[in-house]
């Protein structure tokens, strides 16, 4: 599995947490935090190419988020609908290819069609692949992939393709996984793709996240030594 949008481009994935608390701390309804979260999506995505990020995967709505109160779920779905309607032109203009990753059969009427239109209109974008996860569950993806395998042989590569395919995604390993909002957990996000991801947790609430925070995460990532289970190259003894 590789990163997209050019050789060496990073795949960053973000759990956009803290919208509700950001709003509540200001005496605002939780949905106000989600609205501000859309602005954070825009400025964060537009900062990616200059930071060497070719793929950005954002966790907008998990399969377990259906349990939230109906007004919050409805508000998030309206936000998704307006994002697809209002943002597509800007994404196309900035060379951003949009994909929506997750189940589509439980989304409200008209949204699957709007997703297909936005994906088609931005398909030629080569600066950034922006993947927004909606009704997404990594564990459900793995279960669905296992069911499709039906006892057949699999490699990590072929199984990774099945896992991604069950959620309308493409198989791309996550290099850098960021979670905002101060919590330190993965919440059923990219469990297969993040096998060797470097993790970065920040207290910044998502509505306040922006290019400087992303740059700080990338700078910390660049200082990490990734070994993928092997040894540091210099520490491998020369063959006798």
Distances (CA, A) of 208 to 13, 44, 77, 192, 194: 17, 10, 22, 29, 25
Determine the angle formed by the axes of helices 30-47 and 211-223, rounding to 10 degrees.
60
Of 17 and 198, the one with the shorter C-beta distance to ligand FPP is 17
CB of 196 to ligand FPP, least distance (A): 25
Among 136, 206, 209, 221, the residue binding ligand FPP under the rule CB under 6 A is 206
Of 100 and 197, the one with the shorter C-beta distance to ligand FPP is 100
Q: Is 181 in the site for ligand FPP (CB under 6 A)?
A: yes
Residues 6+ apart with CB under 8 A from 138: 188, 189, 190, 191, 192, 193
Scanning 12-20, 136-144, 196-204, 223-231 for contacts with ligand FPP by CB under 6 A, the matching segment is 12-20
Q: Report the site for ligand FPP in 28-57 (rule: CB under 6 A).
A: 34, 37-38
Of 63 and 163, the one with the shorter C-beta distance to ligand FPP is 63
- Which of these, 158, 130, 128, lies nearest to 146 by C-alpha position? 158
Q: Is 217 in the site for ligand FPP (CB under 6 A)?
A: no
| Catalytic member of 17, 135, 140, 213 | 17
The site string for ligand FPP over 87-126 (x = CB under 6 A, - otherwise) reads ----------------------------------------
d(C-alpha 179, C-alpha 184), whole Å: 7
CA 6 to chain centre: 18
Q: Is 132 in the site for ligand FPP (CB under 6 A)?
A: yes
Distances (CA, A) of 55 to 99, 113, 132, 181, 216: 11, 23, 11, 22, 17
| Catalytic member of 19, 50, 64, 65 | 65
d(C-alpha 117, C-alpha 88), whole Å: 9
E strands within the chain?
A: 10-15, 53-62, 96-101, 128-136, 176-179, 198-201
CB of 40 to ligand FPP, least distance (A): 7
Q: Please state the φ and ψ torsions of residue 197, each to the nearest 5 degrees.
A: -70, 145
Q: Is 78 in the site for ligand FPP (CB under 6 A)?
A: no
Residues 6+ apart with CB under 8 A from 80: 60, 61, 111, 134
Q: Report the site for ligand FPP in 148-167 (rule: CB under 6 A).
A: none
Q: Is 83 in the site for ligand FPP (CB under 6 A)?
A: yes
CB of 67 to ligand FPP, least distance (A): 11
Q: Is 135 a catalytic residue?
A: no
Write out the residues near ligand FPP by the rule CB under 6 A: 16-21, 34, 37-38, 60, 65, 76, 79-80, 83, 132, 181, 206
């Amino acid at each position: 599995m590789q990163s997209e949008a050019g050789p060496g481009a990073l795949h960053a994935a973000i759990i956009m947490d803290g919208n509700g608390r950001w709003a509540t701390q200001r005496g605002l309804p939780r949905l106000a935090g989600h609205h501000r979260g859309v602005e954070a999506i825009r400025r964060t995505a537009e900062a990616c190419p200059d930071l060497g990020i070719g793929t950005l995967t954002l966790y907008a709505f998990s399969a377990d988020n259906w349990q939230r109160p109906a007004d919050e779920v409805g508000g998030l779905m309206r936000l998704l609908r307006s994002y697809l309607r209002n943002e597509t032109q800007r994404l196309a203009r900035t060379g951003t290819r949009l994909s929506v990753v997750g189940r589509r059969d439980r989304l409200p009427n008209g949204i699957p069609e709007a997703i297909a239109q936005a994906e088609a209109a931005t398909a030629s974008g080569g600066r950034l692949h922006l993947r927004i996860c909606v009704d997404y569950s990594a564990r459900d993806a793995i279960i669905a992939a296992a069911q499709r395998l039906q006892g057949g042989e699999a490699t990590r590569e072929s199984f990774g393709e099945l896992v991604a395919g069950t959620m309308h995604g493409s198989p791309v390993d996550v290099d850098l996984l960021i979670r905002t909002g101060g919590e330190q957990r993965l919440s059923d996000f990219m469990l297969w793709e993040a096998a060797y991801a470097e993790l970065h947790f920040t207290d910044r609430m998502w509505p306040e996240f922006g290019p400087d925070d992303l740059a700080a995460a990338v700078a910390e990532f660049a200082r990490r030594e990734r070994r993928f289970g092997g040894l540091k190259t210099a520490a491998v003894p020369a063959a006798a």
